[in-house]
Amino acid sequence: MKPLFLISCPFDTYSGYGARSRDVVKAIIKTDKYKVKLISQPWGNTRFGFCDDHPEWEFLNNHILNEELIDKPEFWAQITVPNEFQPMGKFNIGITAGIETTLANGAWVEGMNRMNLNLVSSEHSKTSFKNAVWEKKDKAGKTISSIRLEKPIEVLFEGVNLDTYFPDNKPCMIDFDIKESFAFLFVGHWLQGEIGQDRKNVGLLVKAFLETFKNKSKQPALILKTSGANSSYMDKNEILRKIHVIKQSCKGNLPNIYLLHGDFTDKEMNSLYNHSKVKAMVSLTKGEGFGRPLLEFTLTKKPLIATKWSGHMDFLNPKFTTLINGKLENVHPSAANPMLLKESQWFSPDHKDISKSLKSVFENYKKYSELAKRQAHYSKTNFDWESMKDKLDNLLTAFAPEFPKQIELAIPELTLPTL
């Protein structure tokens, strides 16, 4: 019998961690070396039902653990934030996107030290965990011990599925009206924090875009595929309110901003990336554990503008993409939380470089399109799902112990003697 590989993860949720979970679970199943069973976990406020809504992923439901275990599984993995890691198997693996700043929470490091192997999405995340050192103190303030990473940590990039994300000339599946012929696209959550301080830096992007192209005779548009906490009407209205407030601070003839809100399927996202009026993607993100939408978009062969720091630097080739300069600054109190520590740092893009990059891509599009084709080839060749699957298989082979093979014994029929 194959060794049992039990995985606890949010594979059935509409979330970034859900996408990561599905890719990793499928990769482990495809090795055909393990009996894979799943425990479905929530992810924040994101909704369940992804697998039922996507027939190509329904097979994962067949792997849900329904029986009661009488012994530890040979392999146990959790795909979540590290403070939740618990060693429940004979060999324990923690899988996380990691951290968007320079410093990981001490509880996260402790969680990783409970596992036999830890896999993170980028070299940036690996470095942040390896550099994290915390002191434990008693009630009197005396240091009693230090916390640092003691267990193996390796990078497993988030490979893009080439059957899902690719150049596509078909009409966009998403019905929305945009009058401009040129639009920049942003994809990501608008998280907590003042303007210029939220992690994805959506507030600053809106303001920089308006200031860069206001009063111009020819103006591009900005499409925001974003939401806050969820996909509700209240959330949408809050996003619109934030955009309105920023517009009020910018005087003049302003370019248009379009909002796309709610959950999209993978096919819809690829269709949006390939929309004929979407000419480039832009992200002023302050920090990424990896940055999946950026990698996905590069396969369209369209230009990409992004900040020059953190997880996405693993797959964005500086020769082929427009990278915005800046400096590291402490996480602002308005954005800080137990995962984003105010003692840590992340990226603050240079405002002049933002405006310069937006104008240059808009005005010299053909030049950047040629470079984008080379980035697409680089992404497709080095960061596809098949390559990720092979790397995961190699990591498991290198680090995991060999367990004795379990043999199912056949009990022969007994023939009773005739008396």
Query: Is 166 within the bounds of a domain?
Result: no
What tens digit of pLDDT does each residue of 401-413 get? 888 765 554 445 5
Q: Structurally, how many domains does the chain consist of?
A: 2
What tens digit of pLDDT does each residue of 182-231 get? 999 999 999 999 999 999 999 999 999 999 999 999 999 999 999 997 88
Q: Are residues 144 and 195 in the same domain?
A: no
Give me the pLDDT at residue 413, please: 52
Query: Is 408 within the bounds of a domain?
Result: no
What is the spatial distance between Cα 184 and Cα 220, in angstroms, rounded to a whole number? 7
Q: Are residues 137 and 232 in the same domain?
A: no
Q: Are residues 190 and 254 in the same domain?
A: yes
Q: Which domain holds residue 339?
A: 183-382
Please say if the pLDDT value at position 99 is more than 50.
Answer: yes
CATH code of the domain covering residue 288: 3.40.50.2000
Q: Are residues 31 and 132 in the same domain?
A: yes
The pTM (predicted TM-score) of the whole model is: 0.92
Whether 121 contacts 290, CB under 8 Å = yes
Give me the pLDDT at residue 46, please: 86
pLDDT band for position 141 (cuts 50, 70, 90): confident
The predicted model gives 18-27 an average pLDDT of: 97
Comparing 20-24, 116-120, 375-379, 415-419, which segment has the lowest mean pLDDT? 415-419
Query: Is 365 within the bounds of a domain?
Result: yes
What is the spatial distance between Cα 357 and Cα 283, in angstroms, rounded to a whole number? 11
For residue 203, give the nearest of 354, 38, 311 by alpha carbon: 354
Query: Is 409 within the bounds of a domain?
Result: no
Q: Report the residue count for the chain.
A: 419
Pairing of strands 278-283, 304-307: parallel
The predicted model gives 240-256 an average pLDDT of: 96
Query: Is 211 within the bounds of a domain?
Result: yes
What is the spatial distance between Cα 74 and Cα 6, in angstroms, rounded to a whole number? 8
Q: Are residues 125 and 258 in the same domain?
A: no
Whether 164 contacts 270, CB under 8 Å = yes
Q: Are residues 221 and 339 in the same domain?
A: yes
Residue of 402 and 92 predicted with greater confidence: 92
Query: Is 410 within the bounds of a domain?
Result: no
Q: Are residues 129 and 216 in the same domain?
A: no
CATH code of the domain covering residue 79: 3.40.50
Give me the pLDDT at residue 222, please: 98
Q: Are residues 206 and 337 in the same domain?
A: yes
Q: Are residues 101 and 230 in the same domain?
A: no
Q: Are residues 335 and 252 in the same domain?
A: yes
Q: Are residues 256 and 355 in the same domain?
A: yes
What is the chain's mean pLDDT, rounded? 93
Query: Is 329 within the bounds of a domain?
Result: yes
Query: Is 347 within the bounds of a domain?
Result: yes
Q: Are residues 194 and 300 in the same domain?
A: yes
